[in-house]
Chains A and B, each alone.
Chain A
Amino acid sequence: MAILLNEHSRIVVQGITGGEGGFHTREMVKFGSTVVAGVTPGKGGMDVDGIPVYDSVIEAVQKQGANASAIFVPASFAADAIIEAIDAGVGLIVCMSEGIPVLELVKIKKLLKESKSRLIGPNCPGLTSPGIGKIGFMPNFIHKKGGVGVVSRSGTLTYEVISQLTDLGLGQSTSIGIGGDPIIGTTFTDALELFQNDRETKLVMIIGEIGGNAEEEAAEFVKNKMDKPVIGFIAGQTAPPGKRMGHAGAIISGGKGTAAEKISAWKQAGIEVVENLAEMGVRAARVLKKM
């Protein structure tokens, strides 16, 4: 079954007429996604490779039955785009844009609570369910269908781990990049819950990094609510305190959010922590063999 995406997912691409939006729409279609509409305000009536473009998300919902959205717009327009998709009742909203002010996310999180929408990201590579489709910009060629769930705060680390799995013949149910911002729509805990309830997923790979306490919250969930095996890696063991390591959310502040704290929380929760990133695939193979 995989999670989040299914055969009924009908995707609208917000920002489809932009360079990135157009390119990744084609890649998504190649991967098997059903893209039914695009939205660019002021460009309604156009089409991109036969995909109709509308001025607003609500039109894409009403005319094409869009129920999922991929947002590829510049950061200064992204909060507007997310709230428009929530307002139009889109169930799954995936925002790739990097650099949205954090106070916008504070407000968006509150709006999401009173809506039926789920947000993935922002500042993320999206999600991919091999055999079903993808939303976002993970490279197509690395994936393979199977029973491993992957969830990560980092884009390239997601690719790295997926490749290691695929090279060993281990496929993935769904891979999700949840995003590198301090406040994000879908957290580690949310993703773990989805994987725990997904029949296809046998094992979960979780890739965390320094900053915040999302890893510690995930540890609580794994300890109390999960019976599927979880293998984890934390990036930033050598990161200096007080410095933002690329991602807006990757910062050790006031001595909090260190890799050491997170690793210890995970170990206590029974997560198998891998120290050497290069061994993620091999460790997954070993755990699956024992099952």
Chain B
Amino acid sequence: MKIHEYQAKYIFKEYGIPVPVGELAKTPEEAKGIAEKQGGRVVVKAQVHAGGRGKGGGIKIAGTPEQALEAAKEIMGKKLVTPQTGSDGISVRTVLVEEVLDIERELYVGIVIDRASEFEQPVFVASKSGGMEIEEIARKSPESIVKVGIHPFSGFKGFHGRRIAAALGLEGKMVSELSRFLDTLYRIFMDKDASLVEINPLVVTKDGKLCALDAKINFDDDALYRHPEIKDLKDINEESPLEVEASRAGINYIKLSGDIGCMVNGAGLAMATMDLIKLAGGEPANFMDVGGGATPERVEKGFKIFTSDKNVKAILVNIFGGILRCDRVATGIVEAAKNIKLTIPMVVRLQGTNSEEGRKILKNSNVKFEVAEGLFEAAQKVVALTRNMN
């Protein structure tokens, strides 16, 4: 789960990590008011989950309250397009208005869980080339990146801090200041079950202080059950409504840009089914895993979700019944077809537990469908259906 910069900074503040003085504005007028209170230059920052805001014009410096008003109007008045949003862009509902600091140096500091077998633990990633994205740092100056793993049973120790400080080129009293800073960051990561904590840039100000100019925290979805306070931070406006609806029903759904809607059980088979459609010359409209415990109701819900995408011209149902019984899937399909007046042509492959019963249920209904036995045959048939229409 992702949260906004201002929310991450709120958590930082609670733990004593220094952040610039600032406030959230919901309207350009509020932004002006905050700038007046700050007295002086401010930075106006779009609050969206997508990265690369600066490149898309989502971050502006304002010298006066009037300029802050104009900046906020401009940012909130149109869709923000960044390298991470796609060409449609996203709406900006709030902006963060903050003091402008005198910056001496820009650093990068992050914590992730490194999955590589040499780590399999939280790892600090740091570089003295802050300000650009970590992928870009990795391309332009990989030698500046240092990785320091933290054993979960020892926690963060002084030597971890000294090693990172040395890599960042910090000296004197800045070493222990950074060490304290990173210790706190690690505590946030562990306390909150984060999957990513990133400060880019972490700045050293002209008067020799550390400050988190930006803040990003992602959380482990599987740990949200023990963090109700984090769950409440979710901004539903940032999520695709269909994906939210699907996840409420226990379905994994991701919309893509093709025209073949898919329903599959199991994440691996769902990915492989998309790959097969592509291999057969078609384009999948979505990823959908209805899971092992799918009921007829869930199948029906799944159908409603992916057929609400107007690009869908043909459907492929690919089920390998293990725990999941094919007859229950078939019942769900029949119900869905009836309730949503399905007219989109469909190819069905049912294998495994109760597949015969499943096919019988479909045959005895009014649902129009083609049966496929083989996997690739199923993909080829559904691609052929879309071709016939063009």
Tell me the A residues contacting B by CB distance below 8 Å. 75-76, 99-103, 106-107, 109-110, 125, 137-139, 141-142, 152-160, 163, 180, 182-183, 187, 189, 207, 209-210, 212-214, 217, 233, 235-240, 242-250, 254-255, 275-279
Contacts and interface: CB of A to CB of B under 8 A. Distances in A.
Contacts of A233: 272
Contacts of B352: 139, 141-142, 159, 163
A277 B272 contact: yes
A107 B152 contact: yes
A235 B272 contact: yes
Contact of B151 (A100, A110, A189, A278): A110
B222 A248 contact: yes
Interface of B: 84, 113, 115-117, 120-122, 134-135, 151-153, 190, 193, 195, 220-223, 225-226, 252, 254, 256, 264-272, 274-279, 284, 287, 289, 292, 320-323, 351-353, 374-377
A246 B323 contact: no
What is the interface of chain A mostly: helix, strand, loop, or mixed? loop
Given A237-B275, A276-B276, A277-B375, A157 B268 contact: yes
A16 B11 CA distance: 41
A177 to B, nearest CB: 9
Contacts of A217: 116-117
A255 B135 contact: yes
9 contacts: A110-B152, A125-B322, A139-B321, A141-B353, A160-B272, A160-B351, A212-B116, A244-B221, A254-B135
Given A75-B222, A106-B122, A237-B275, A247 B267 contact: yes
Contacts of A154: 266-269, 271
B253 to A, nearest CB: 10
Contact of A277 (B120, B151, B252, B276): B276
B223 to A, nearest CB: 4
B112 to A, nearest CB: 9
B268 A238 contact: no
A105 to B, nearest CB: 8
Contacts of A255: 135
Contacts of A142: 352
